[in-house]
Amino acid sequence: MTATPNRPSAAPAPAPALAPALDRAGAEAFLFREARLLDEGRWDDWLDLFAPEGMYWVPLARGQNDPVDHASLFHEDALMREVRARRLQDAHAWSRQPAARTARIVGNVQVLDPAGDAGRGADLVVGSTFHLLEWHRGRQRMLGGFYTHHLRLGPDGPRILLKRVDLIDCDGAHDILEGFL
């Protein structure tokens, strides 16, 4: 498939100015901006942070290393991320009347050694911890866990090759998880 499906705001989001070799502060700036895009529901801008072959993966099991022979909460390529983003914005998404509000905090940002991370072609692997507060239909819940971003650095800033989200309660019973974490 093509990298940028026909969504209304086709203009690429401006990438933050970053040094070619991302330091911790640069990585943090990228993650903070990503968190803001998600909390503001700017799904299309968020989709643009991914490399065309990038994956969004939320394992179902702790320490899961296989998304093919084991179920996952999310294991989405560009097409499926696009489908989810489209649905989140559909006026007839009944579960989003009104939409959930979220606020997330990303911390403990660490630049990890990409070499140890079996050749996804990432220039950089960034680990972080997140708390995600969500309010939806009168109920508030707290989600949280760990983000691992595998990033490729390019002239227009970092692109996500893999965003892995390890929820602290990945293998627990869940209320609906319809938004991107």
Partner 1 sequence: MDGYDARTIGDLVRPDGVHRSVYTDPRIFELEMDRIFGRAWIYVGHESQVPDPGDYHQALIGRQPVLLVRAADGRTHVLFNRCPHKGAKLVAAPCGNAGKLLRCPFHGWSFRFDGSLASVPVRAGYEGTGFDPGHPDFSVRRVPRQASYRGFVFASLAGDGPDLETFLGGIRPSLDNFCDRAPEGEVEVAGGVFRVWQHSNWKIFLENLNDTSHPMVTHESAIEAARTGYRSLPEGTAMPFRLHIIEGNGEPYAFWDKLEMVAYDHGHSYMGAIFKPPTDPVSLAHAAALEAARGAERAREILSMQRHNSIIYPSCSPHTSFQQLRVIRPVDVDRTLVEVYTFRLKGAPEETFRRAVVYANVVNSPSSVVMPDDVEVYARCQEGLRSDGGDWVSHHRDAGRDRIEDGRRTANGLSELPMRNQFRAWSQYMIRE
CB of 48 to partner 1, least distance (A): 15
The alpha carbon dihedral of 18, 24, 29, 34 has a sign of positive
From candidates 40, 70, 108, 121, binder to partner 1 by CB under 8 A: 70
Burial 136-172 (b: 16+ CB within 10 A, else e): beeeeeebebebbbbbbbeeebbbbbbbbbbbeebee
Please report, for residues 120, 145, 164, the alpha-carbon distance to residue 54 in angstroms, rounded to integers and kept in the order given: 10, 21, 11
From candidates 28, 34, 82, 134, binder to partner 1 by CB under 8 A: 82
21 versus 80: smaller Cβ distance to partner 1: 80
- Interacting positions 126-145 with partner 1 (CB under 8 A): 137
The C-alpha atoms of residue 93 and residue 13 are separated, in whole angstroms, by 26
**21 near partner 1 (CB under 8 A):** no
* Phi (first) and psi of residue 40, to 5 degrees: -90, 0
- Mask for 25-64, x = binds partner 1 (CB under 8 A): ---------------------------------x-xx---
**119 near partner 1 (CB under 8 A):** no
Q: Nearest Cα to 33, choosing from 115, 119, 151?
A: 151
Stretch that binds partner 1, among 20-28, 72-80, 109-117, 124-132 (CB under 8 A): 72-80
**113 near partner 1 (CB under 8 A):** no
List contacts with partner 1 (CB under 8 A): 1-2, 5-6, 58, 60-61, 68-75, 79-80, 82-84, 86-87, 90, 92-96, 137, 171-178
